[in-house]
Every structure is written in structure tokens, then in C-alpha cells.
Structure 1
Amino acid sequence: MTAPKSTEVFSRIPIPFYTAVIVNPAEKGGREMAQISRRDFLKGSVATGMLGAVAATGLGCAPAQQTSSEALSETGTVADAAETSSWRVAPESVAEDAIVDETVADIVVIGAGHAGTATARSAAEKSGKSVVLLEALEEQYYTIIGNDIGHLNSQYLKDHGVPEVDPVEFFNDWMMRSQNAANPSLIMQYATRSGEAVDWFLEKVPAELLETMTISYWPRHENMLDEIAGQKFWTGTVQWGMGNEHNMTEVYQAIFASLAELPNLQLIFDRKGVYLEKDGDAVTGVVCVDAAGTYHRYRANEAVVLAAGDFSADKEMMTDLCVTANDCLQEGITEWHDAMGGKDGSGIKMGVWAGGRLEPRPLGSMNGDFAIPSMNPGVGIYLDEKGNRYCNEFFGDPTWTGKPAARIKQNVYYTLFDSKLKETCTYSVSGHTCFDPQEQNIANIAAQFDQGLANGAEGDGRGTYVAEDWDTLAQYMGIEGEAKENMMASIERYNELAKVGVDEDFGKDSRVLFTLDTPPFMGVVAGPDHVGGVMVTVGGLMTDKYCNVLGESLDPIPGLYAAGNCLGQRFGAAYFSPIPGVSIGSAITLGYTLGEHLAES
């Protein structure tokens, strides 16, 4: 499937061959982040903050405008020229004689990730229109980030006993979390149609892969919480990869194979978008480059869809757009790490160069403006470098609970538990990186206490120590002097509050306010590498309810659409997760509905 299929619905125009190369890689650098995979975490490791190591993602082709920086001055996206970042300046167009061929289709989708694949497949299945799906990676290197699909009310969930969710309740919780900054039309589509979209997605997944798919937080432990700190949580995540023998990349490889059955859809690998082409105000196509440096043109009769992913690998864009996360960095202590997902923002750049308007800053990111200094659930106590408690350890999921940690001095963090963790860990919520209290996971926690005692002062090599008394634990953790005195005072104060059942200091919910008085005790030491690591960004281009990209005047740009992490106004200023996997779930859902719209319009 690396080359277009021969079919009459596509028009292919050969052009004399010339060689040209674009060299504009996203700059990557910074220290490597100490991290632990969520799989290791579920096996009982509680040592680190940034849970959930991920594979490098498949970057979709990313388009740009054919004109130079004149487009930027015309759109006026930056009021002050001094604020203009270099990424906002469009490149020069490629010489016509360097473009070796041209393919014409009704719909061109740039990026074969979650959203792009859903958009292309939906549009092709629901119409006879010709669709080209372009992917930047070569087929043998294709991988996709994430293994969780968060959604509501699919038949699959119902068949497995998961209760139905009120879409309006879910919608209002989402809009509250986004401070009403999300696009309400898009979020209501997600709330009301994600179950339908996921059932449709699963139709192309082979039986042998479906058999290994699991539902997170199901069966649901009786101690799990549906709401805490004003945030609601639901069960609705299907996943691969978390201890399973298969992962989402394998799922997509199977889906790609099934796309060969659609005669009006071409999947073409090794096509990296360079810029968008326009006819007047309308976007009409994209010029791509392959790994050999050869250019190709794809013209769209009706629509070009930007689904090329986020911008977490472009540090200039991160600094410019993720203002809150950037401001949480502390000079000499923390800095941007290499992006886990590794996407260069090319789709969003090209959309901006074509006149598209970004949602208001700050744009959100998955991690970055919050830090996870230890495992979740937060039934223990969080201490700063001076041994003082500094926040409510269970203010919803870590996307909210972890914000204070990103806003204090980031040299070192401490977290303390007692042996009741083997029971109190079941008081969890179904949110981002939260503990899933299944029987094996609980047993892993118990085993880690036993192993920790055996490890003694050596710990587990990842910052976790276990001791029979607080004095010994403090010694293992390197807490001494005034910090140790403060630690002991913090524990005493915390236990006083827990016995009364009211946290007068930080407002922790009494349901998760447990005394720390039963040995052995566990301590976790986390360093500054727990700040500045971003999995993906979740902000992008503004659109209408049909995902039609808006220009600076907030009028739709004819022929230009956005999906996935190129699409803005899903989360507002910060990421959150009432169900794990909502980023992927919304990408698939809104790709499905966008494809439907393009098929019908």
C-alpha cells in the first residue's frame, strides 16, 4: 500500500523528474526525562511521576501555504512584529519543475493517525468520492502513539456491562473543566456519537486483536470514586498495550490492510507535507516531499484535511503557544524535554500559513503544566523539598492534582505512604494515569512493600524506599536536618486532620484522607525531570462545527479542515481526562463525523 492503486476515480499527471530537498527538522534537545511506563506502574512501581512511556508516533504529512511571509502580515496573527516566531513565517514555494507528479482527488487527508484515518475511511465509505490519505512515515517505520480510546455508550461497552453515561452530564462536566472554552458543538458531537464511532472503528479490527482488548477500570472496584473535587469520572476506555500482547500500532496495520477494500481510497506512505496551495481564499491541495527528497502534488477538488498531529517536538512553538507550561519551567532546574510523541507541528504551521487562526493561548498540553511526583491515587502525603505539605493530593486526576507541584521549587519532591496503601489504593478515579485497582495491580503494591524492605537503603533504583519507621525512611530518602523536622511535623499534622476527617489545610476529601501510622512506610523521591516533559499538545486551529478551519476574521476558509491534534478548542487551556483516552477517543469520533460531513456536503 505504499503506492497509489490504479483506479479511474483518481487522476494522476506525470511531471518531469527533478530532485529537491527540504531540510527543516524540528529541533530537539534537552536532557532525557527519567520516566516509567504505565505498564511498569501497573506492575507495582510507584517511583516516578511521568507515567506512561509511549512509542514514537506516526507523523502525518503537514501542509503549508505556497506564499512567503507576506501571508503572515496579511492575516495579522501577531499584533506585535517583535513577537513573531520564526515558525510562523511560511517557506518559499517549490519550483514547478521540481514537482514530479500530481494526483487529483475529491478529498486529501494529511496524516494517517487516529483522526486522519477515521476521516478518510468515513468519507470513502459513506460516498463514492475519491479520497487520498497521506502519511509522512515510510510504511515499515509506521507507529502510532497511545493505546487508549475513551468514549461513551458504545455497544461494545454495553455488551460488557458498563453502565450508560448521560451525554449531557458528560458534556457539562467537560465544558466546566475547559472553563467553557471548548467548542461546544464539537464536544456535544463527541458526547453523543463517540459510542457509535468506536463501534464503527472496531468493525475493522480482527478478532484476534479484539480478544486482547481490555476495558480500563472494569470491573469497577467498589471503592472507586465517581466524583471528587467537583470533577466527575466514568468508565469508558478500551485499550491495547497495557500488559497486553498487542498494541495500537498493530491495530492500525490491520485497519490499513482493510482499507484496500475501498476502491475510492488510496493510502500513500512516505509523503511529508511541505505547504498548502490556494486558489484565492480556497485551499486546493498540498505539496509533499518523500524520504528521497522528491516532491509530489496532491490536488483536492473539495477538501484538504489537516490531521498531521501536534507540535510537542517544536520547542519554539511550545514556548510561543503553551504559555502556561512554559512559565512553569524554572531556570537552571527544569527545561523542555524531548517530546514523547515527537511531532513537529507541521500541520498546524501549514494551517497558520494558509491563514488559519489558532485558538487563544495558552494552548493545552498533555503534561507540562502539571507534574506527577509519585503514583496516583493521592492517598498519601506530598511534601516539598523542605519537608512541608503543599497541596491537596487528590484534587481530581493528576492533570489537576499535579498543578501545584509544577508551581513550587522543582529541585525535589517527596511522597509518603503507609502499609495501608495495599487497601487505600483502591480509592481511585478513572482518570489520566490513575491507579486501576484490579486484583493483580493491588497484589503488585503489596509485593513492592515486601521487596522494598529487602532492598533497604538501596531502594528500587527509581526513587522508592520502604522502612519500618519514619526515621529510617527519611535516612534512606536523604531527608535530614530541618527538612526532616518539617517532614515529621507534616506527618503529625496530617494524621490529626485524618482522624478528625476534615482537611483544614488543603481541603482533601475525607473519603481519601487516611492516617499514615501503620508500618512499614514507603517513600518516593522525585526530581526536576518530572516537569517539562510533554506527551502531546492538545491545542490547534479554530474551526466551526464541521471542523472547517476559520481564518483570522473567523470566517471558514473554503476547502480547509482540521482534525485530531491539529484541531483546536477541544480542551481549552489545559488537558484533562474524565475518561482516560479522551484525546484519542475524540480524534476518532470527530474524524468519523468530519468524514461523514465531507461525504454528504
Structure 2
Amino acid sequence: MGKNGTRSWSRRDFLKGAAAGTVSVAALGAMAGCSPQQTSSGASEPTASTEAGSYDVMKELSTFNRGEKPDAKAPATPEEYITMKGDGVLSAGGGCDPLGIKPADFMLNKPAWLGDAPEVTDIADTEECDVLVIGAGNAGTTSALRCQEEGASVILAEMQTYDEYDEYACDMACYNSKLFLDKGTPEIDATEVFNEYMRLSRGHAHQKIVRDYATRSGEMLDWLTGHIPAEYVEKYAKTSNYKGNENFNGECCGQKSWPAMTQWRDEETNINMWPFVIRSVHTAFEEAGGAIKWGYQGVVLVQDGDAVTGAVFQDVDGAYHRINAKAVVVAAGDFGGNPDMRLDLADTMRNLAWSYGNDRTDASSIGGMGRDGSGIRMCLWAGGTMEGGPRAGQSCGINGVPGFAFGGAWPCFGNDGKRFMNETMVKHGSNGYLDMLPEGQLLVNVTDANWEEYLSHQGFGHETMDRSSDYMVAEVRENMANYKTGKDGFDVRAFSRFGKEYSTVYAADTLEELADIVGYSGEAKESFLAEVERYNELCAKGHDDDWGCDPQNLLPIKDAPFFASFGTTGGNPSGGLCQHAAVCTDGGYRVLTGDKQPIPGLYAAGNTCGQRYGIQYATPTAGNSCGSALTSGYCAAESVIADLA
């Protein structure tokens, strides 16, 4: 495992750090080969025959929160929810065990993990509705509620039980929402947002889907908060960075970013409240006349010819139920928790593992988190296709340097004491080369007494302190003011994580003492001191001749006390979070066949809907994965209603 200072990293640390988007090389590197619900022995024996493509894929459905905790009780109040969440660690459930696919069955036209659509004849009952939505996460919930409000009769089916329901959504970026504009945030040119996302996707994303997100996410958030109790919005909705970083010019190294992220936090505990708050949206849906089927695992879509006319579900007791509908929206999440789908489909992850000499046919060689891919498989059985590659997986191969507890992009020095990168290019989508560092490489971030002023020059992505979160800013200031010099370091609140987490920061009165603390000696120490001097000369010049740091972030390391955050690489590639690659859709979120014709009656939203990011997740504003998912459900509902009319 990699180490940050003297501390080992675990999956628990990874999930908490992932919420912040500032996970260190050590933390992400340590995750390679790990996945939710993965067996300790790696691949298991095939569950059916070993004939190519004949594995029993129904054995590979998630059981996450489907009766695992018979004594579970859904929280009825925010206080009960906070108590239940404990220290606030985010959930990463929803995955499943590998099938044990043999190399000969790998990468087939009919993949072994897909096989044939199951035939279910023992149906306990059948219900009818206008619109069936599969998945009660962000995308499915917004889609179901909007369709119901537009006059359709809607059934929302969720594989988790009501009492066990949880999700790992946290940040949501939504542009030009009233929540921000009412606080004085300038209106953002949504066409600039759209163009930035398309540039970052290198044109591989679907322009209509990306434009919907850029231009309508604020509208969606305002509509959504109208269905959430006002006291929850007032108490928990934190509009991050709305005060802005007064010295940031809006662009860093050609990458634009904007203040638009909302987080739902309890100030006393800092726990992510969205998994509780979204229950009030479920209630609003039911009060509007919709019905929710809890514990309904989607099994297969029902078709009349090519048209999709419903779906079959299995409840937690094993009984099968059929729901007929005029339109079906599949919002059942990604395939990041399915080891076999991840191995076959996530080509960037598979080949990144291979670049480390790992077995590219071994499902345990690449890690990840997320759902079981059942929604995507149902769409493929109905005639849908997966989007093209590269399929990177969210943040796969994208490590960040260790970073300070309060965020920020800082001068970074390597194993030999020398700078080795442009530190201002730290957003998702720009640091993949850090995965190529060997194990045990020392990475050191350094700043000085002017650390908070320096933060005011940095952007709105994952790389900076949220200066509008006064309750956290105050504690960080207090921690830094009460610094302790020496090798033991001192605790500073980990700014962007959920729950009250702290990270170790090291302080010294001189740069020589700081070099000793982080582990530089001999030639490496001499190089470090010379490199800081060189860096300060470049700051005075206003141009980084060595690595091209953005001039607005060229701020010298000159005033004591001096601070450091450091870690060592884990020697493994970062496996990524959930998967954004999914089924092909048109501009109306209709699932497409191989000849790019819509399948009548079938729509996809959220992480079941592909082409949202093209080649890699990117964050001009932190939290756009959830914001994009919510918006896709909102807009998919619009297409459904229009088609039904």
C-alpha cells in the first residue's frame, strides 16, 4: 500500500478522499485490484458451463441493500440519518462478484458477461403504467417525478429496499441556478461551459447531451429544490465557491472553471446529507401520484417486436413481477461494480493495468466502484449498443499529488528534490502521467505563511478550498495558526471530505528544517533548496520557463513558517471510480441500435446513458457527474412526454 507521511491508505480513505477529488497518488495507487464485493481470491470458477458466452449472468446481480440488513430502518429525520452515517464515509456498494470468465471467452461479440436475455415465465403479477423508470438514484428520481408532474402515470422501480436505500452521490454542479444567482454570483455564459466540456472530450461526447447539461442544469436544480423542504435547502445546501476566489481570472493553463457546485452538508458533523434529502424527492413523487417499487431488481426488458413495452423484476423474496409501460427509462447506474463488464468494456483501465505487467484478462487486475451493470445489459439485450472508446472510467489513470488538507495547487518536488510537473494542471483529465511513477517515489507539496492568499488565485474545480464554507474555513485557519513544527506534524481539517476528517501537515521555521522533515538528505536536499530558489526566481520573472505553471499561480515560497504535505507513490495505477461509458443514445435520450436508430419506448439517463464525457470524466466545476446525471433524467423525461403525446 502507498503511504502518505507515516499513514497507510485503505479503501475507506480512498472513498473519503474521492469525495474531495484530491486523492493522493498513494491513495489511488493503493486501490488497484480492489472492487466492492470482490472475492479475496480474485476470479472464481464459472457458475455455468465453460462454453463461450454461456455463463449464468443472473448469478452476477448485486445483492447490495436487498435484505442484507433485516433490522434496517430508514431514517425518518435528519438526526436519525446523521447518527446512522456515523463518521460520514460514502457508500460504494452496488457491485457484484466476478463470473470467472476464461481468457478464451474474453472480448467476444456476444460477451460472456452478457450472454442471452433470460426468459422468465413464472410471473407473480402484472401492473400497468404510462412510464416505467428503473433506478431511484439521481437520474431516475428526477425523470420519474417530472414525468408524473406532466400527467403520466409513473412507476419507479429501485433494486434497494426502502429501509436500506443509500447512494454515494455528493457534489452536484449546476450552472446558473437560482441558489447561486441570489447570492450575487454572476451569470455564467452557458455556451462557454458547453464548449469547454466539448473541448475536454475532444469531440467524443454527444453535443446535445452536453449542451443540455450546460444550459439546463441550473433550471433543473431550481425545479428540484422546489420539491425539497425549505428547511433542508436552507440548512444543508452549501453553494460552494459562490464567493469566488477573488484573484482567480477564470482560466488556468487554458482550462476554464466556474463556481457552480452545490453540496448537501450538515455543518456540525460535515456529513453528506444528499442520500437523506433525496428521500424527500421520492416523497414528492409519491404525493404527485407516482408509485415506487422498492427491492425490485430489473431482470429483462419486455418487447413487442422492436419496441420496449415494460420490464420484468425480481423482488427480494425471489418472486418475479412484470410492469407494462408505454415508455421505459433505464437509470440503473453504471457497470463499475461488475468485474467482468469492467474488464471487457473499460479498455483504458484494462490496458493501464497491462502497462504495469498485470494480467489483462484477470478481472481482479483493475479496480473500481459502482453498480452491477444490469441496466446496461437490459438495454443491450433489447438491441442497444455501447458507446465507442476509449472508455476510461471516472478518474482512471488520473492521480493527483498529495495535496494539502485545504486543497490547492502547490509547487511539487519529487524524489530527487526537483520540480517535475506543471502543478496547476491538476484537474481530472490532466495528471495521468503520475501513474507512470515507480513505487516509493517521494512527492512533496510546499507552501509558506501566505497559503490562504495563494488559494485566492486558484480555480473552482477539485483543486481549491471552498472559500464560501465559512464553518470549515474558520477551523482550517485555526489549525494552521496553531501549527507545530517538527517531524510529528499537526492535524488540519481535510477540507473537502465528508465527516470530520483531518490530515497531517508539517511545518518548519526554515526550508532546511522542512527538507529534513519530509525525508530529503544529501544531494536530494541540496537539489530541493536550489530548486526552491530557482522557483522563486521564476515567480519574480512572472513566467515558468521550466514547466509552464500558470503565471497567476507563480507565487514564491519565501515567508516562514514553511509547510509541507508529502506522500509516496504506491506503484499501482489508479483504478478509477464509477464508469461513465454506457449505451448510445440520441439527443432525446432514446437508446440507439447499431444502425443508430432509436428503439421505440426505450430511454436511458444517468450513468446508463453514454456519451456524456467522451474520453474521460472532466471537472470544469467539481461535482458535474451528479449534476449531469440529474439533468439527463430531467431532460429524458421531457422527451418521453413529448413522444407519448
Equivalent residue letter for 2:336: S
Whether 1:235 aligns to 2:259 is yes
> What is the CA-CA distance between 1:534 and the residue it aligns to?
2.8
| Contact 2:263-2:272 at 8 Å conserved across structures | no
> Which is worse superposed, 558-567 or 400-409?
400-409
The separation in 1 between residues aligned to 2:117 and 2:616, in whole angstroms, is 34
Whether 1:515 aligns to 2:551 is no
1:284 aligns with 309
The separation in 2 between residues aligned to 1:572 and 1:275, in whole angstroms, is 27
Equivalent residue letter for 2:280: A
Equivalent residue letter for 1:411: G
The separation in 1 between residues aligned to 2:92 and 2:216, in whole angstroms, is 26
Query: Secondary structure in 1 aligned to 2:287?
Result: coil
How many residues are aligned here? 548
Q: Which residues in structure 2 correspond to 1:11-160 (within 5 Å)?
A: 32=11, 34-35=13-14, 37=16, 55-56=90-91, 83-84=107-108, 86=111, 88-91=113-116, 93-97=118-122, 99-127=123-151, 129-160=152-183
Equivalent residue letter for 2:11: E
> What is the CA-CA distance between 1:114 and the residue it aligns to?
0.7
Equivalent residue letter for 2:566: V
Q: Deviations over 1:223-262 (max 9, x none)?
A: 2341111122222222202745761112111111222222
Q: Deviations over 1:477-536 (max 9, x none)?
A: 233344434433432332222221111111111110112232222222234469525332
Cα distance change of structure 1 residues 435 and 151 upon mapping to structure 2, 3 Å threshold: same
Equivalent residue letter for 1:358: M
The separation in 2 between residues aligned to 1:458 and 1:158, in whole angstroms, is 41
| Contact 1:107-1:131 at 8 Å conserved across structures | yes
1:472 aligns with 513
Whether 1:214 aligns to 2:238 is yes
Sequence identity percentage: 32
Q: Which residues in structure 2 correspond to 1:496-507 (within 5 Å)?
A: 496-507=537-548
RMSD: 3.5
Cα distance change of structure 1 residues 318 and 281 upon mapping to structure 2, 3 Å threshold: same
Q: Deviations over 1:391-413 (max 9, x none)?
A: 11012x52144333233335333
> What is the CA-CA distance between 1:100 and the residue it aligns to?
1.9
Whether 1:491 aligns to 2:516 is no
The separation in 2 between residues aligned to 1:338 and 1:113, in whole angstroms, is 23
| Contact 2:148-2:285 at 8 Å conserved across structures | no
> What is the CA-CA distance between 1:116 and the residue it aligns to?
0.5
Q: Deviations over 1:405-424 (max 9, x none)?
A: 23333533322222221321
1:270 aligns with 295
| Contact 1:456-1:467 at 8 Å conserved across structures | no
Q: Deviations over 1:526-555 (max 9, x none)?
A: 344695253322221111011011111222
Q: Which residues in structure 2 correspond to 1:142-221 (within 5 Å)?
A: 142-212=165-235, 213-221=237-245
> What is the CA-CA distance between 1:45 and the residue it aligns to?
12
2:452 aligns with 422
Q: Which residues in structure 2 correspond to 1:240-319 (within 5 Å)?
A: 240-241=264-265, 243=267, 247-263=273-289, 265-300=290-325, 302-319=326-343
Cα distance change of structure 1 residues 359 and 385 upon mapping to structure 2, 3 Å threshold: farther
> What is the CA-CA distance between 1:41 and the residue it aligns to?
7.3
| Contact 2:385-2:584 at 8 Å conserved across structures | yes
1:457 aligns with 488
| Contact 2:248-2:552 at 8 Å conserved across structures | no
Q: Which residues in structure 2 correspond to 1:575-590 (within 5 Å)?
A: 575-590=617-632
Equivalent residue letter for 1:353: W
Query: Secondary structure in 1 aligned to 2:484?
Result: helix
Cα distance change of structure 1 residues 53 and 502 upon mapping to structure 2, 3 Å threshold: farther
The separation in 1 between residues aligned to 2:366 and 2:602, in whole angstroms, is 32
| Contact 1:422-1:445 at 8 Å conserved across structures | no
> What is the CA-CA distance between 1:110 and the residue it aligns to?
0.8
> What is the CA-CA distance between 1:366 and the residue it aligns to?
2.8
> What is the CA-CA distance between 1:574 and the residue it aligns to?
0.8
| Contact 1:154-1:198 at 8 Å conserved across structures | yes
| Contact 2:113-2:340 at 8 Å conserved across structures | no
1:369 aligns with 397
2:382 aligns with 354
Whether 1:383 aligns to 2:425 is no
> What is the CA-CA distance between 1:211 and the residue it aligns to?
0.8
The separation in 2 between residues aligned to 1:594 and 1:564, in whole angstroms, is 10
> What is the CA-CA distance between 1:465 and the residue it aligns to?
2.2
| Contact 2:25-2:568 at 8 Å conserved across structures | no
Equivalent residue letter for 1:585: G
**Uncovered stretches (5+) of structure 1, i.e. residues with no partner:** 1-29, 62-68, 70-79
Q: Deviations over 1:438-496 (max 9, x none)?
A: 45555544444455525633665955322223333333323334443443343233222
Whether 1:552 aligns to 2:607 is no
